[in-house]
Amino acid sequence: MMDGLFITLEGGDGAGKTTQAEMLASWLEARGLETLRTREPGGTPLGSAVRGILLHGGDELGAVDPRAEALLYAADRAQHIAQLVRPALDRGIVVVQDRYIDSSLAYQGAGRVLDTSDVRRISEWASGGLWPALTILLDASPELAAERRAARGGTADRLEAEAAAFHAAVRNGFLDLAAAEPGRFLVLDASRPVDELHCEIITRVEELLAR
């Protein structure tokens, strides 16, 4: 039986997941808890290669079929869980992860309009049925997320460059997932101040740690 704690952060690009994940990991470590901070895709060498293909591949790739996209994310997930996450949880480590199965359900399911039951099935198979104890959903409007991405600068990746309708569908997909599993999700308005969001997150995490 795993003794660690698995926490994921979800939301659209620009919602502030990375900032909150870093703050949470620092808070956990300050409490003396060994913490693994990781992400999908890209948490392993194989995952980094998949990330490069899916998000930053050149024009020579052409259009990536939605099913191929979903399967590549699942391949990254299988390697990531087997190589990093499960071993960490077995050692009693707290895993703080940027994106997981819910991203596949929102992006490839709602965004790419694939059957979400198919996406869930391959994701659960790839992960061996592992689900987080807590999923923090940072909910940002497509407009706010786009403003933040623009402020970051740099070249948009394949998903960031999608049309506003795609990002709206992804956001609705995340909110539908949270409504279906309120016990697992903590939904926060990403437009609120960073420190306020952090306080709400650690309050919820403290409850989990006390169990």
18 is in an annotated binding site: yes
Question: What pTM, to 2 d.p., does this model score?
Answer: 0.93
Model confidence pLDDT, tens digit, residues 66-80: 999 999 999 999 999
The answer to the question of whether 42 is labelled as a binding residue is no
Domain of residue 205: give its range. 5-209
Please tell me the total count of domains within the chain.
1
Has 16 been labeled as part of a binding site?
Answer: yes
Q: CB 23: neighbour CB atoms within 10 A?
A: 18
The CATH number assigned to the domain holding 88 equals 3.40.50.300
4 is in an annotated binding site: no
Model pLDDT for residues 138-156, shown as the tens digit of each residue: 999 988 888 887 887 767 6
Sign of the alpha-carbon dihedral angle for 29, 207, 21, 195: negative
Does 102 carry a binding-site annotation?
A: no
Q: Is 111 annotated to bind ligand? A: no
